[in-house]
Each structure stands twice: as structure tokens, then as C-alpha cells.
Structure 1
Amino acid sequence: MQTSSPITLDHLIGNKDVTSSSYAELRDPGRLTDIVGLIAQGDAATVDAAVRAAHEAFQSWKKTSYEERAALLRAAADLLEVEANAVVEIMARESGMLVGTNKAEIGMAANIVRDNAEAGEEFLKPMEVSDAESWVSVEKRPIGVIADIVPWNAPIILTMRKVAPALVCGNTVVVKPAPTAPIGLTLLLKKMAALFPAGVINVVHGGGDVGHALSVHPLVRKVSFTGGGTVARQIMKAAADGLKGVQFELGGNDPSILLPDANFDDAIPKILGGAFRRSGQFCFAVKRVYVPSEAYADVVARLEAEADKFRIGHPLDKGVTFGPINNRGQFEFLKGLLERTRASGATVRELGTVAEPDGWDNGYYMRPVIVSDIAMDAELVQIEQFGPILPVVKYDSLDEVIESVNAGELGLGSSLWTSNFDEALKIARRIEAGMTFINNVGTSRLGQKNIPFGGVKQSGIGRESSPIGLREYVEYHALNYHK
């Protein structure tokens, strides 16, 4: 049964809606019979129009003062909060994420915008030095048109991590939302764009061909992408001909390591939240848990008991705490991974309560899964599952855990649980990752403002958030006056 009429979503170019000759159906991943939206499909000509609008706007936007740009960004942050209630339900229907999760995401995105506006004041000041012979000034200039290619799993936060620092530094943007969750993001971007001069914020919809067109366009100076490594490699190759800069925030296989002296009562609910929020579909989710042998049976039982509290169903249904997988490709991958894990001899527990059994086959639904009695070198432990299947690994030697954790090519986040602060720092500094959270699975508010978000090895190139993230959006111009 259709819950409401589909939304027709056009491109946004120069602050005007631009129609398309082709529109793609977007279906609700929790009710596949429902069409949520009809999404404009762009092509190279659409991309060219958007990039040229952004390039034209850049000529004047780059000359605006930091104070003016920051004031507009603060107004945009306020707007996000005001408009949140208008989009959280449509976001749930397009992405499968819970309404409460979407609302919290928009609140965090507003903070990201404000943080970048604040950080820009000090960051953009030139560095000046002089002596008896000369004077030197190292100044920061905007790059130009930035292409932002963003994913479906947390689209508002992940877009604002790109748009806010780009704009505060004086760049303009063309955003390509993910095909499977573009509606809520685009509705908010259109409201934001109206605050800015025409062409500062543009939106083009479509698939990989649109991403490629952005990556090769001669007026795009940098591509910022959040997603998977396979697409990142394609973007990097496409951008290479134009020697464009790239910034990538990619996947992770984040370990959570319990030490024997950890507070298990505090840790276990947080680990479960860090693993199964968004049904496990976010980059720095807990992807594997390492537990000392003497506590293994107890921890597994506790994790299973916590996971069994979830109620799985459509995110708009009352009492549901666990939504569907976003798209068919990821759903089929996870089902295959689960079958192989079960065949390997590991203990697989599918948990939780199904809210609406009759609707189970009308969506990409999976129960939360706890996997125990699994080896450190098992497939599920060594890859990024990006879904609600959590392996729990027994260990006797912490050195063996660190070796296993560092052996792979992913290194985004990690978490560590202990009551000994000094020991925590020693162990954390041995982990090859961009971030390590101690006694939690994410950043504090202080961390959100100051931690450069990103990973090492194949988990990304560059950083987002914090003053360090602003470096991605400037070029340096050095002046040397000889007295």
C-alpha cells in the first residue's frame, strides 16, 4: 500500500530547479512496493551546466570576507535545525534509518556547520614573519569548484563535512547525492542554497556516469568522496588526467578491544550501539569485538541478550528500533556473507523480534546477528561487513590481537575498553587507525570539534572536520618582500 505520493526531485543549478528527460524510481527499502521518489537523472551536459554555474559564482564568492561567509553558514546551521522535522520521515522512507537517528544526524550536521564557521576565523589568517632583510606572508586561498560525492548511510552529516569547510574557505560546490537516499539531503540543500548567492551550492543527481563526469570536468579542482574503495579508485584514476586533488573518507573494519579490567556493564551496551546503529551501516561502526578468554562466554551471552532487545521493522512503525538494509546489493552481499560464516562452523545467533512478520519479505530486512566461536583470520573478521553481523573473537594474547588488527589494509576507527588510563594510551598508540576511542565508540562533543576524522592505509586520503579538515579546501600563496 502506497503511504504517500512520490516526490519528484529535480537538479539544483544556480539556485533553480532543473528538470531532466529521465527520472528513476526510488523505492522504500522497508516497503519495496512503495515508490518514495522520482529522481532526476543527470548526464555530462547537466554536470557541465552545474560546474559552470559554480565556477561563475566562485569569481565573486571567493572575494567575500570570512565574516560574511561565516555568518551565512551560521544561518544555514540554524536552518537545518528548523527544517529537521520536515524531512526526517522522508529520510526514513528512502534510507531505512530510524526517524530519531535522522533527527540526531541533522542536529550533529548543524554543529558541524557551526564548528567550521568558527574554526575558519583563526585558520584563514595568514602567517606573517619578518626580519631585517625581508617580510614573508603565507596566505590561504580557495581552490575553486569542489565536487562532493556523498553516500546514502548518513547523508546530511557526511555532506556537511564537505560543504561547510569548502564554503567557509571561499570555494563553491556541486553535490552528487547517493541514488538511494537523495531526497532529504536535496530538500535541505535547496533551502540552504537560497541563503547563498546563486551557484554557490548546486546539486546533480545520477549514478556513476555523473560521478565520472564530475571527476573529469576541467573546471572541477578537487573531488571529495565518501564511500567504498572500489569507487574511490575509479575517481582517483579519472581525476588523474586533470591532476585534481582528491579527499577520500572510505571504509573501516573497526576493532573493539575489551581488556580484562574493563567495566563490562558500561561497555557492552555501548559496543552494541556502536555496532548496530543504522543496522550496522556506517563507516566507523564496531565491526569486530576482541574479548579475553576468561570473560568470553559471559561477554557473548551479554551481547546476545542486548541484541535480542531490538525490534526489527519499518522505521515509521511504532516501537521499531532496527530498520532494513538500504539496498539490494548490500542486502545480497550480507546474506551471502552470513551463509558462508554459518558454513564455516562458527556459532551464528540471529536475534531480535520481528515487528511485522507479514511485511518481512517486502523489505531488505535482517535480524541483528552475533557470531561467536570464530577465528581471528575468518572472512567476517577480516573484511568490512557494513551490516548487522558482529563477530566476537576470543584472545589470550593482546599482542596477537594488535597484530591481527593491524594486518589488514583498513584503519579508520577503533575502540578500547579499560579502567587503566596509562595502559589505554600505550595500547591505543599501537593500533594503526585514524582514531581510537577509549571507553566509548565515537567522539565526544569536544572530539567532534577537534578530531580530524579519517583513516590510514586504504581507509582514506586526507581528513574531515576540525581545523585540520579545513586544509583540504585551500591552496597556499607565499609572498616574500625584500626590504
Structure 2
Amino acid sequence: MRRLFQGWGKGKCLLMSVMKIDLHINHEDVPTERYSEVRDPGRLTDVVGQVAIGTVQHVEQAVNAAHQAFLSWRKSALEERLDVLSRIAKLLEDESQSLAETLSRENGVLLSTSLGEMNMAIHAVHATIKNAESFFNPKQAEDETSWVSVEKRPIGVIAGIVPWNAPMVLTIQKIAPAIVTGNTLVMKPSPNAPMGVSIIMKKIAALLPAGVLNVIHGDGDVGSALTKHPLVRKISFTGGGKIAKFIMKDAAESLKGVHFELGGNDPAIVLDDADLDDIIPKIMVSAFRRSGQVCFATKRIYIPEKMYDSFYTKMCDLVDQYKIGHGLDPSATFAPLNNKVQYDFVKALVERIKQSSAKIVELGEKLEPDNWDNGYYLHPAIVRDVEPSQEIVTCEQFGPIMPLISYRSEEEAIRWANMTEYGLGSSVWTADFERGLKIAREIEAGMTFINGSGQSHLGYEQMPFGGVKQSGIGRENSELGLHEFIEYHAINYHKTS
């Protein structure tokens, strides 16, 4: 089914299609009896696609196909796997523009953000290739009496479950290391952003032997059937802590491994020597990219008491320059939220803040006021005069609300930064590297950035990505990310005397 989609600027119309996405099992598209609609978060009257709803029987088919494929794929040469990854990177490059448009239409983000995500996915593949080239070299030792070899082997069938906020890069960060280490996969995309990743996974699957990569969709019964299945040897899940707890219970039935990349409530600690004009735009990008829907986005900012008012004024001035509109509108610099559940949660959070003693100011310009109620649009908001234990400070808002907390001493800021059960990312902002490094080492987090809001190019290759406390189990990226998808096999040869 095709229809005209009204574009922006000089009355142009773009011909867009309403896509139909089936399951993909063992190199075959598998239609189902039921399909769910995916609607554009920035224009809810627009149906972007229809996605198959699978069943428990489809899970059985997919897992069995992956298991049969594993029996031969695990024996494939590393050179063959590396060649496949190189072809995947080329495929992502060739498909970047069309996939970015699909991503923006289904999860609501700006087109520039989707294009950036495609570049990150490509970089993830190249980084995996680089880290894998020497990864499988066994560790060997020998003395007069024996010889020992510690070798790395693939695990088996991996269940990959990915979220809606950055679906492409988060999908590729599971597929690339799992494939290069010799595993096979059954992937389950989020129903809130299933199309772009399903399109590319079908094309990736075609580069691999049948059954190595399979894609299913469905509700909680489908997800539970996947995570409980005895032939699934490990679950790699990116998402929220509540779902992770259910997955962990399912995994316990067959004592399978879990890898969780979960939520965060990342603190930013501003030191009194920081240049506010320099750092505030950088912090703002971290806080409001994807409308705040990023696991390791800055979600609370600790500011020295004497700099508090100045920081607040400068940040409000910058945030007020956002232009809120549809992700494909070239004039927009701020996009809607992805789904109704998250939209309702953030709206309710705003209302509770308004009933408290804190002060909240909603900023930014509406580009299409008449379309405002036809999408999940919210103003970016700054909250001041917040108590350190207030809900907006301690929860993961996953939306465009930023609390500013005044502190009197560095020790106080560190204590407050560490007083939640989250521990994903964090940042320190200072003119003095040594001072920033000292504080960074006191923060309870899997990652800390000094004078930045994310990984550098080098950091993406070398930093293990993940959290402590309730922000995750295990790591992605770097060589440690490859370790999540292997088991060790130790061999000891006893020499004859």
C-alpha cells in the first residue's frame, strides 16, 4: 500500500509507503494471522507500517533454526566471519539514507539524529572487526610435565532484545559481536520501532547461512517463550530494569546467561572552575538528545551554589532556542517522544513537579501548533530549586526534563551523585583534568566522561559500555563486549614421564 506523505518546505510531497513487516526465520519471510500498526509519533494519524505478531510456535521455529545453524556456523573460520562483518558495514553504508528516514518516521527522532545513528552502527561493525582480529588467539603454557591451552568458543543461540530509542545501533551492537564469535541469533525488536531494524536484519541474514540470524515480533508471551527456551544459551537485553527482572527469572529455568544494558540516571557534576559558556551547550546536548530518551543521557546536574543562578539563566536561554517539530521537518531541532506510555509518564511527572516547591519552566518554540496534539510533543523543561531526594532527581525520567541541584562542597555533590541505584554513565566538568579525574574515580558508574557527554571515537572502540548496580550486567563494545558471547574451554595435556 502506498500513499502521499506531505513533506515540508515549498509544498513538496514525498511518496512514502506503508510497509508490511513479516517475521524472518531461516531465510524465509513468515506472515502471521495478526499485524499491529506502527504510527508516526510526530503525526499519529499516519500509519507507517504493519508488523507481524508472532506466536510461541514461531519462537520454537526460530530457535530451532538458529540451533541447527549453530552446529555448522560455530566451525566457520574467523576470516569468513570477518568478511561477513565487512559486508554488513558496506550494506549499512548503502542503506543509510532510506533507513534513517524510516527510523525517524517510526521512533520520532530528528532525521539528523537517525543519520548519526546509522554512522554509529557502521562504526560499531568496524570496531568489532578491529577488536576481533586477535581475540581468538588461545592462551597457552607449557612446562616439563604438561601443556595447557585456554580457548574461546561460541555459546550457541543468543536471544537479542532491543529497545525503541536507538534501535539500529543497539541492534548492531548485539549482532556484530555475536556473529563474529560464532553464535547464531534470534532477535526481537521493540514494537515501538521495529521496521528499520527488521529491514536491515533481513538483508544481513541474506549474507549469512540460513538460520544464523532470525527475527521475530510479538507480545509478552512471545518474549517469554524466547527467554525461557532451553536452546537459547544467553539473553542479551537492552531496556528497562522491570523487564530485566522478568527476563532473569525466565533465564533461571535453564540457568542461561544474561547480558543486560539497562537504564541510567546519569549525574553531571560541574566544578567551580568550569567555563559555563563552554560547557552548558555540551551538557545540553547530552541532556536533550533524542528528547532525553537516551539511557546514558545526563539526567541531573549538580552545580556549585555560587554558580547556580548563572548556570540556570544561561541554560534556559539556550534550551528556549529549540524548535519543536516533526523529525523529518528540516526546521525542527527537537522532536517528539516515542510512545504514549513514556509520554504519559513524563507528563504526569511534570504535573507532580508543578505541585511541589520546585520551579519548572517549559521552553522551546512549537513549529506546528495545529499538529501539537497529533503527536507526542512536549516542551523541554528545566527544574530549579530541587531537593536532592526529590522524585525528578532520583528517577529515570527518560524525557526532556532537567533538574538542577545546588551543592556546597564536592563531597556533597559526590554523595548525592551516588545515592541512587543507577550507575550507568556520569560526567565531570572542569578546567583541571587532574581534579576532574580525582572526582571521576569517586563516582559509582560504569562510565564517566570528563568534559564530554559521550564516547569519543577512541572511547567507542576501547571503552566497555555498561553500568553498575541496577544499570546492568556485563558490557558492550571493546574487547570486553566480545567476551559476553564466548565460553572458555581449557585443555590440559599430561606428558608421559
Q: TM-score range by the shorter chain?
A: over 0.9
Residue identity matched to 1:126: P
Please state if 1:462 is matched with 2:462. Answer: no
Aligned to 1:450: 462
Kindly report which structure 2 residues correspond to 1:177-256, keeping only aligned pairs within 5 A, or say none: 177-256=189-268
Query: TM-score if structure 1 supplies the norm length?
Result: 0.99
Please state if 1:104 is matched with 2:116. Answer: yes
Which of 33, 54, 65 is the aligned partner of 2:66?
Answer: 54
Q: Deviation string for 1:355-397 (max 9, x for gaps)?
A: 0000000011001101111111111001110000000111111
Q: What is the Cα deviation at residue 36 of structure 1?
A: 0.8
SS at match of 2:134: helix
Residue identity matched to 2:144: A
SS at match of 1:290: strand
Residue identity matched to 2:459: G
SS at match of 2:387: coil
RMSD: 1.0
Residue identity matched to 1:417: W
Aligned to 2:391: 379
Q: Distance in 1 between matches of 2:99 and 2:117?
A: 12
Extract structure 1 runs of 4+ deviating beyond 6 A. none
Question: Is the CA contact (8 Å cut-off) linking 1:74 and 1:113 kept in structure 2?
Answer: yes
Residue identity matched to 2:219: G
Aligned to 1:133: 145
Aligned to 2:9: none
Aligned to 1:431: 443
Q: Distance in 2 between matches of 1:114 and 1:72?
A: 11
Q: What is the Cα deviation at residue 25 of structure 1?
A: 1.0
Q: What is the Cα deviation at residue 2 of structure 1?
A: 6.7
Residue identity matched to 2:104: A
Aligned to 1:482: 494
Aligned to 1:343: 355
Kindly report which structure 2 residues correspond to 1:30-49, keeping only aligned pairs within 5 A, or say none: 30-49=42-61
Q: What is the Cα deviation at residue 306 of structure 1?
A: 1.0
Q: Distance in 2 between matches of 1:82 and 1:6?
A: 22
Question: Is the CA contact (8 Å cut-off) linking 1:112 and 1:160 kept in structure 2?
Answer: yes
Which stretch shifts more, 450-459 or 79-88? 79-88
Q: Distance in 1 between matches of 2:378 and 2:227?
A: 35
Q: Deviation string for 1:264-304 (max 9, x for gaps)?
A: 22210010000000000010000001110111111001110
SS at match of 1:153: coil
Residue identity matched to 2:75: K
SS at match of 2:168: helix
Aligned to 2:335: 323
Aligned residues: 483
Q: Deviation string for 1:145-170 (max 9, x for gaps)?
A: 00000000001111111111111000
Residue identity matched to 2:266: D
Aligned to 2:37: 25
SS at match of 1:225: strand
Which of 333, 342, 353 is the aligned partner of 2:345?
Answer: 333
Q: Distance in 2 between matches of 1:21 and 1:2?
A: 28
Question: Is the CA contact (8 Å cut-off) linking 1:2 and 1:33 kept in structure 2?
Answer: no
Q: Distance in 1 between matches of 2:99 and 2:485?
A: 29
Which stretch shifts more, 229-238 or 371-380? 371-380
Which of 372, 388, 396 is the aligned partner of 2:408?
Answer: 396
Q: Distance in 2 between matches of 1:136 and 1:48?
A: 39
Q: Deviation string for 1:428-449 (max 9, x for gaps)?
A: 1100000000000100000000
Question: Is the CA contact (8 Å cut-off) linking 1:2 and 1:35 kept in structure 2?
Answer: no
- Segments of structure 1 that go 5 or more residues without pairing to the other structure are none
SS at match of 1:122: coil
Kindly report which structure 2 residues correspond to 1:146-161, keeping only aligned pairs within 5 A, or say none: 146-161=158-173
- Segments of structure 2 that go 5 or more residues without pairing to the other structure are 6-15
Residue identity matched to 1:305: D
Q: Distance in 2 between matches of 1:335 and 1:355?
A: 20
Q: Distance in 1 between matches of 2:250 and 2:4?
A: 41
